[in-house]
Amino acid sequence: MATKRVSGSEAVILSLLEEGVDTIWGYPGGAIMPIYDALYDYDQQVTHILTRHEQGAIHAAEGYARVTGKAGVCFATSGPGATNLITGLADAQIDSIPLVCITGQVASPLLGTDAFQESDVVGITMPVTKWNFQVTQAEEIPEAIAKAFHIATTGRPGPVLLDIAKDAQFAQFDFEYKKCTKIRSYLPEYPVDPFAVKDAAELIDAAKKPLLLFGHGVILGGAEAELKEFIEKTGIPAAWTLLGLSALPSDHPLNVGMLGMHGNYGPNIKTNEADLIIAVGMRFDDRVTGKVSAYAPNAKIIHLEIDPAEINKIIKADVAVLGNAKKSLRLLIDNVKPNKHEAWLNEFRECDKIEHEKVIDKDLYPTKPGLTMGEVVRIASEKTNGDAILVTDVGQQQMIASRYFKFKQSRSNVTSGGLGTMGYSLPAAMGAKIGRPDRTVFAMAGDGGFQMTIQELGTISQYGIDLKIIVLNNNFLGMVRQWQQLFFEKRYSFTELKNPDFVGIAKAYGLEAAKVTSRDQLADAIQKMLDHKGPYLLEVVVEKEDNVFPMVPAGASVSDILLEP
């Protein structure tokens, strides 16, 4: 490849183009200004979207990555610009989202002098990145960016941060780009051990009450087809973690629902009756296991996982199959015998009947006057025929939406899982819509989380991002209030909100908006929002004490799941 004499800042843009980057989210400032100046000449080759806050930029990059499978890219300046990325980095790290974040830094002679807007970005971000690196010489830029994309997108994905000193952005050098395909001492994934697969297959063939749990690793590994083929060959019921949602169509007959604290009754109860648990691309998060000492006491454990650090971390595996879920499942499919577990599956269906009577029918088809979150989710899902992308915030609406929104295709559920980041949905939905402009994208938030990143309405307006925003307003921090109601004697300590006029704010930003307060308005209001070309905000006033059930109390066994207060 021929070299070209360029500045370090232009090298950043040329390197990103070599990696196929088409969208950058960011916010300029002094220390990254040379990179923004170089970007000015490439606006026909890459789109930059100016967010209203750096946290908005990184969550948008996350949303883009979640729906496309490519690394999300964002820019920020030094000091507070860089530190405003921390929440998004931590979110992406725990949820395994590939990101490449580039921050400007003060000139290298000023490092360590407490210069204006200097912060130790590499030190601060080390615990919440898969890899980070400070660039002090322009010649380091191409190799650093190539490594960043390789590390971010291979193996268990994650966020990478490059901190580039200002003098390195100005300096000239002979640019040449080589994509990174291998790094010494970095092993992205292990080859699948055929002996481990054989041991797993023997346990699967012998099991009478097996249950498969699938998580985000299925989606990240592109293993959706293999998951479906495996459960159809073996007849094993399959339950999903929050981040596994949409890997398997909602209406698949072997899909038995969501695991965990607010998951479905059947998968939680039956976990402790199963004689075999097959965990695929999930990490046995505490929200899934409940009380670890009481988790799956009768079951052998098979764990298919790409990251060896997750094996035996929470739940001891009888058989561990290290490697990419797509490859592991393919080998398992070839080694297991065809089977059916109809009687066992029917036990889940009986649990479904109980849950419908006690919880689901009341959530989705309420007879009480006030609107429920569940009926809003049901109507939005029905009117988009299960084809929409749903981006949720954190809290009650996240759990309700995950329980009741239906999906036909993968990479359709975007939410903050491990970190539980309020304010996530609005910017992440921007990224999802830019990444998949062909699909309807809902941003669904509670009134608390929505106000944490409400300023991104300005970004949505400026770029005409066609989002359908639903704010479920109960004038409370609903999930905290629910815990206060159930476990703290209704001592509602600082959870009630005096909210602004959300419709008025949306209109001030130039968005169409409407408010729903009664059931007879709801279906037509959602349809009107969907028919509108362009961004639209719909505020729905729901019951103040509309709780999310079922619920596994903190520290309890999954067998102790509550169906009602």
Residue tagged active-site, from 18, 33, 117, 170: 117
Which residues neighbour 49 within 8 Å (Cβ) at sequence distance 6 or greater?
Answer: 23, 24, 25, 26, 57, 60, 430, 434, 459, 463
* 426-465: b (≥16 Cβ within 10 Å) or e: bbbbbbbbbbbeebbbbbbbbbbbbbbbbbbbbbbbebeb
Q: Looking at the chain, how many residues does it have?
A: 565
Phi, psi (rounded to 5 degrees) for 452:
-75, -25
Catalytic residue among 258, 261, 399, 479: 479
Got the DSSP string for 106-129? --GGGTTTT-TT---HHHHHGGG-
* Cα gap 152→154, rounded to integer Å: 6
3-state secondary structure of 498: coil
Which among 4, 45, 116, 357 is annotated as catalytic?
116
The per-type count for the chain, helices as H runs and strands as E runs, is 24, 20
Does 355 qualify as catalytic in the annotation?
A: no
Q: How many CB atoms lie within 10 A of CB 555?
A: 9
Q: Are 482 and 474 contacting, i.e. CB atoms less than 8 angstroms apart?
A: no
Whose structure tokens read 């998004």? 88
The strand pairing partners of 100, in sequence order, are 73, 160
Our answer to whether residue 273 is catalytic in this structure is: no
Give the whole-angstrom CA distance, residue 382 versus residue 387. Answer: 9
166 is known as an active-site residue: yes
Q: What is the gyration radius of the CA atoms in the chain, in angstroms? A: 24
The residue whose two tokens read 């980057």 is 21
Among this protein's residues, is 442 annotated catalytic?
Answer: no
List the catalytic residue out of 54, 305, 355, 375. 54
Given the residues 19, 55, 93, 166, select the one marked as catalytic.
Answer: 166
Place of tokens 């100046």: 37
For residue 456, indicate whether it is catalytic.
no
CA distance 73 to 21: 8
Residue 495 vs residues 248, 423, 454, 478: alpha-carbon distances, Å: 36, 16, 19, 8
As a whole number of angstroms, the distance between CA 66 and CA 57 comes to 14
CA 236 to chain centre: 26
Residue 501: what residue type?
Answer: D
- Structure-block tokens of residue 32: 């990254």
Active site residues: 54, 116-117, 166, 479
